[in-house]
Amino acid sequence: MKHWRIEDVAWDRFDPSAAEPQVVPLVKAAAMVERNGTDYAIYLNRVFGDDPDFRQAADHWAEEEVQHGDALGKWAMLADPSWDYASAFARYKAGYQLPLDADASVRGSRTGELIARCMVETGTSSYYTALAEATKEPVLQQVCRHIAADEYRHFKLFYDHMRRYLARENISLLRRLRIAASRITESEDDELAYAWHCGNEPDGLAYEHGRCTAAYMAGAMAHYRFRHIERGMGMIFKAVGLPPRGRLSDVSAKAAWRLMQWRRQRFVARLAA
């Protein structure tokens, strides 16, 4: 059972004058990536082929991710009636492919796969919380709060399964840290950048990774506050098996916050050039 449905959202409260023009393209791009959850579920079903409990959970998870895409897509069409969610997503799907034929996780182990999933859910949980707090548009606030709550539950889901596999696979802390770090840096790969392109750029303009990552990241990073990074760092620590609260987590959150500001400046400069 889903925790909320698209029909539960008070769409009639949409206020076009409150929809920030800089937020609309971010929502369009996010809708693409969320809607693509079914493809990731196909991959998870292959990687966890002999684990019916997890496969069922993954299918349910994907339904929720698709709903995130549909809700964000619906909101973006209210904010920009000239935009078509279905055709933008069709373009995304045609050009961005996950490794669906894999028989084992690209992370080298099932524990690693689940740690990577925890990183993604940490990112989305923080992002939608930040977006809900940043926007003044009441419907987007409601949609982002619903999504952020789902993403946090997804984190817990993958975390619980990860603990189960960790007891079996016994991956070292260093390896877990490496997997977590590599999944975090992948946020600057094609998945989001290409979603920005398909959601926002005209058909005639060729995809260029650097330009699209800079546009997406400069816009998205502007909405974070330190508290979102602090909470996210606690989740990352928990996922790799370190104490979520304490001096190391505090120092890491402060360093991550400074790194994010610096990266954002670089993306802004890249866009200006």
Residues that bind Fe ion (CB under 5 A): 34, 65, 68, 121, 151, 154
Task: Give whichever of 62 and 88 is closer to Fe ion, judged by the CB atom.
Answer: 62
Task: Give whichever of 121 and 230 is closer to Fe ion, judged by the CB atom.
Answer: 121
**Which residues are CB-contacts of 180 (< 8 A; sequence separation ≥ 6)?**
115, 116, 118, 119, 236, 239, 240
Shortest Å, Cβ 154 to Fe ion: 4
Task: Give whichever of 214 and 234 is closer to Fe ion, judged by the CB atom.
Answer: 234
Shortest Å, Cβ 3 to Fe ion: 12
Task: Give whichever of 123 and 219 is closer to Fe ion, judged by the CB atom.
Answer: 123
Shortest Å, Cβ 256 to Fe ion: 21
Give the Cα separation of 272 and 31 in Å (integer): 26
Shortest Å, Cβ 205 to Fe ion: 27
Phi and psi at residue 164, in whole multiples of 5°? -60, -45
Task: Give whichever of 198 and 214 is closer to Fe ion, judged by the CB atom.
Answer: 198
Task: Give whichever of 72 and 88 is closer to Fe ion, judged by the CB atom.
Answer: 72
Q: Helix, strand, coil: what percent of the chain each, to 5?
A: 75, 0, 25
Look-up: residue for tokens 């689940």?
114
Shortest Å, Cβ 246 to Fe ion: 27
Look-up: residue for tokens 């959202």?
9
Shortest Å, Cβ 120 to Fe ion: 7
Per DSSP, the residues of 151-194 read HHHHHHHHHHHHHHHHHHH---HHHHHHHHHHHHHGGGSHHHHH
Tally of CB atoms within 10 A around 91: 18
**Which residues are CB-contacts of 208 (< 8 A; sequence separation ≥ 6)?**
none
Cβ neighbourhood burial of 115 (10 Å; 0-12, 13-18, 19+): buried
